[in-house]
Amino acid sequence: MEQTVRQAAQLAKAASMGMATTSGEQRNAALHAMAQALRDNTAGIVAANDADMEAARAKGTPAPLLDRLMLDAGRIEGMASALEDLAALPEPLGVVQQERTLDSGVRLQRVSVPMGVVAMVYEARPNVTADAAGICVKTGNACILRGGSLAIHSCLAIADVLHAAAVSAGLPENCIIPVRTTDRSATDELLTMRGLVDLLIPRGGAGLIQHCIDNATVPVIETGVGNCHVYVHAPADIDMALNIVMNAKTQRPGVCNAIESLLVDREIAPELLAAVLPALHGAGVVIHGDEAAQAAGAAAGVPIIPATEEDWATEYLDLEIAVKAVDGVDEAIAHINRYGTNHSECIVTSDEDAAERFLAQVDASSVYWNASTRFTDGGEFGLGAEIGISTQKLHARGPFALEALCSYKYLLRGDGQVRG
């Protein structure tokens, strides 16, 4: 197995040399071919996904994870359309970022170039296979795709279709390589392949991401764990707050930009929670609450589980939420900065000063005023297909795509200069 993974990385490294010399026209043509190949092979991909879904149900996989895993014709069309959207984006390579003539007369340019080999390690989201492969193709990188065991048939079916289409369109052989083993040691191999893997991006649960951060000797972009909050500050429009909370919690609870906690100013807690708690309960949300939330729940006839310290730090990824009353914006900011994961946070208020303080002081990659955290997404941000949401500060932060998979080099042109 070790040799197989290393061979894959060696093949990808060789392919990356060829990818770096492809033209934007070649890579865009490959993206269109990959999109059409997904459409042409929809039935086979769905059949592979059916096998994964059957095995996942047999294991008792929670409904939100099943939703992430499931593919149908509509989702495959979405993957194909995302590849075409990528092709329509501006060329990311060869962009002159700086240009000047040095005192020596040497002409300097800083231009964007591919990273080289990008390894993606991800779990039960087979659509990541297409997003990652497409973004790597657009940016001239070779990619290694290591999908999780829960989605292995789906990921391999998609990767094989995309690889064949990319090569048929003229891109180097091995520009897209899936890891075919489900052995977890394959991930550990990729984490330590300095000189072969130029960048590793994990997408999945907290355990996977932390394991990669703790054990990698190659550069890693930390992504995605989302203990996100909505904070309702007095004064706030109750109807607006209700709509935002319900969208951020229930529209798709198994994704990283869904909220896991609701904070509310104590002075408006009775009024707000009288509206929000029954709505959440009616949508099937299990509610964990502090004493204020428990009192509001009793008044509204809504069962509330007493919240523990653990609840404030939990990413449920399900129809569950923690609810807490706070004494103003400073306590809300302190709570979020203690328990949040630097992902997406929201304040609902009509007080501009409080909103601006929240926007400035909350430490997260995306901070909202009067809008749902569900907008934290590469497509919604106009980035095209998204390869991840970074919760770190160096290199990439928030939803990232093309720019984060490019590096740069200095090109210097002279006519015989030497340094004295």
* Axis-axis angle for helices 127-138, 152-168 (nearest 10): 30
* Cβ 6 vs Cβ 155: under 8 Å: no
- The structure tokens 């989605």 sit at 151
pLDDT in tens, 230-244: 999 999 999 999 999
| Cβ neighbour number for residue 30 with a 10 Å cutoff | 26
Name the nearest CA neighbour of 389 among 404, 377, 379. 377
> For the purposes of burial, counting CB atoms within 10 Å of the CB of 228, is it exposed (0-12), middle (13-18) or buried (19 or more)?
buried
Q: What local confidence, expressed as pLDDT, does residue 1 receive?
A: 44
CA distances from 370 to 138, 193, 232, 389 (A): 34, 44, 9, 21
> Residue 97: beta bridge partners?
none
Q: Kindly report the CA angle at 187 between 184 and 188, in degrees rounded to 5?
A: 95
- pTM equals 0.85
Which residues sit opposite 143 in a β-bridge?
Answer: 118, 176
Q: Cis peptide before 235, with omega less than 30 degrees from 0?
A: yes
Listed in sequence order, the residues at least 6 apart from 117 whose beta carbon sits closer than 8 Å to its beta carbon are: 9, 12, 13, 16, 141, 142, 143, 144, 196, 197, 198, 199
Neighbours of 235 (CB within 10 A): 13
Q: What was the pLDDT predicted at 385?
A: 66
Residue 225: per-residue pLDDT: 83
Q: Cβ-count burial of 311 within 10 angstroms (0-12 exposed, 13-18 middle, 19+ buried)?
A: buried
pLDDT of residue 384: 66
* Residue 229, both tokens: 């909050």
Q: Of 106, 105, 108, 104, which Cα lies nearest the Cα of 420?
A: 104
In the chain, which residues have pLDDT < 70?
Answer: 1-3, 384-385
The backbone torsions φ and ψ at residue 20, rounded to the nearest 5 degrees and listed phi first, read -65, -20
